Chain A
């Protein structure tokens, strides 16, 4: 009895989580123009999604922005974490605290203030993409810092000194010894940066060039508009994004399971 109740609750929770997405998935394969009666099966939404130049440019633009700002944010965030770790205790604590503020801060505030500073104060044109990229880097770098820091803390601090002791310059020691040790943190920071950039709406609205749209800003505008073909094509886009995310999550879990197994056998060998 108790057991079935527990099962029911679980199903209910999963339903609440996944039903909205599933509805979109189902409707993306139909000819319907609005959620309601389902008419025939059709792939026309997917055809529109991949053939309309406007949609294609928007998707590639968003991806390019995400990749570009994630790369910059990863470099900056990693450097920041390494710097904070090897600073004196007080400086390190100050850097960590300063890093926390943008994480907690509302995106609207970040986007708006970047817009004010770069566009209004420094007269940098939004069309240069500089405010947009700067905004996304500001958004992502603190998260990279946060995902790299625990890896550095876990690292045996004496291996850096060991490298110096064996004749490596600080730069060589960093590149050959420290970076390889914290790669998992850097990769997860990079992945996090990409998701954050893809997710962002507020910063982009304040800083993007007028003729450029990210998926988020585009979707918000399109749902306000009246072009039904575009609207239903966005269902297809949502489905594609959802499927990709599911695949990535499954892939990552499989990888970590495999790693755990490898570590266990490694330990057995060790004994």
Chain B
């Protein structure tokens, strides 16, 4: 491929902050073609803004290289890069009027005033704010300030325009309008846009290419369709759109077991592979009880305008379904999913994750056993009152019905035992693979979950075992319902 076609290339970029040793960006690689609309998408703190700041020149990578048109710009200060930024909170200069704000960049280049006047008029026209030259910044609404910020960047005719969550401070309607306008502006000007957002819908609407990031690492790079239809990791599946995500295991050729049932699928992985299965809510069909692959009870039905959002509990698993047909809570139903609508991802690691309950005494419980840990340690800044209820960091009482706690434990931290009453949960060995120095077992529990356990000793298939899971080896994550 012609190398010069890439306007900017990021090579093995890592950024570790000196202050606290925090790794914000970890070995990041990206190629952007001239004229592309690329979006960095991820939750806050995922390193997307830091990456953008390194492209702009505000932050210097700890290691790695940034090439602009094939030449390294690592040593170039921001004011020498042909790159302009639209900041999250606009960053207009409050002591200057609109004309002087927009003219700032050209003034630094000592452009003749005549030309400045002409070009200011042109960009104001582009952002639909003709005649705003004499206004002061404080008299403009948020949306107008945003347009001025865009105009101020575009007047310099940058090779790349960086946009750092530019629509985050606008209301929903305004945001939708600006999304379309920005996209139109991009198509008209042909400038490369690099856009940062945590809003997946915004990313899907506007981008040619999306870079999904989490914890400083690239999760997936692809077109919006790729990212939505073929998420590469469980994180991407969870972050983009709504998904039912289950951990499970391959039970045969194109057969996977998850959510308490055995499904046919189209992704080929060897038997015994630990997998993550992704099913989009709109791809689940509700069928009469007994005729589906799994069955369950309707837990809740919410009318969403275009469709109903129905939650079905199947054993301890929860499936969210979007359908145009309503159902009644309490109904017994069957569920089926077409093989091509099941997306199977090989699990990145074999961490076992399972939901735990909060009992009436506000203690954590799993399979009827109280876990010896404190909820206050899991919920940041929370306090336990004398009557047992928990206050969150804002001093409000936490409603156990509105939060969900997920426990995780590593396969090597679980021990199997024959003593059925000793462990937290019981199951049968449904799969075993020898991995050189230990066996990897899949235990199918009575709660319809599969646990992966590493053990040096050989157990037999279909052995009934109890799982010893030390609480101190578990990590807990909090999710709001």
Contact = CB atoms under 8 A, between A and B. Distances in A.
Contacts of A156: 89, 91
Contact of A168 (B94, B104, B139): B104
Name A's interface SS: helix
Given A158-B87, A181-B95, A164 B139 contact: no
Interface string B144-187: 00000000110010000000000000000000000000000000
Interface string A256-271: 0000000000110110
B84 A165 contact: yes
A161 B89 contact: no
A25 interface: no
Nearest to A161: B58
Nearest to A165: B85
A270 B138 contact: yes
Contact of B87 (A161, A170, A269): A161
A180 B94 CA distance: 9
A85 to B, nearest CB: 15
Contacts of A180: 95
Interface residues of B, number: 31
B93 A164 contact: no
A269 B139 contact: yes
A177 interface: yes
A222 to B, nearest CB: 47
Given A158-B89, A159-B93, A169-B79, A164 B105 contact: no
Given A167-B105, A172-B108, A266-B138, A161 B19 contact: no
B56 A165 contact: yes
B88 A164 contact: no
A266 B136 CA distance: 10
B394 interface: no
A21 interface: no
Interface string A104-147: 00000000000000000000000000000000000000000000
Contacts of A88: 18-19
Contacts of B95: 180-181
Name B's interface SS: loop
Contacts of A165: 56, 58, 78-79, 83-85, 153
B94 A162 contact: no
Contacts of B57: 164
A184 B140 CA distance: 23
A201 to B, nearest CB: 40
A68 B104 CA distance: 34
B479 interface: no
B387 interface: no
B131 interface: no
Interface in A162-210: 162-170, 172, 176-177, 180-181
Contacts of B109: 167
A224 interface: no
Interface string B77-105: 11100011101110111110000000011
A177 B104 CA distance: 10
B141 interface: yes
Nearest to A158: B91
A159 B140 CA distance: 17
A164 B79 contact: yes
A89 interface: yes
A90 interface: yes
A168 B79 contact: yes
Nearest to A263: B138
Nearest to B164: A158
Interface string A70-99: 000000000000000000111000000000
Q: Which of A164, A165, A266, A269 has the most CB of B within 10 A?
A: A165
A263 B71 CA distance: 48
A266 B139 contact: yes
A168 to B, nearest CB: 5
Contacts of A169: 79
Contacts of B87: 158, 161-162
B159 to A, nearest CB: 13
Contacts of A181: 94-95
A233 B297 CA distance: 98
Given A156-B91, A166-B105, A270 B78 contact: no
Given A162-B91, A177-B93, 15 more contacts: A161-B78, A161-B85, A162-B87, A162-B93, A163-B104, A164-B77, A164-B78, A165-B78, A165-B84, A166-B104, A167-B105, A176-B104, A180-B95, A266-B136, A266-B138
Top 7 nearest A-B pairs (CB, nearest first) are A166-B105, A167-B108, A162-B91, A158-B91, A164-B78, A180-B95, A158-B87
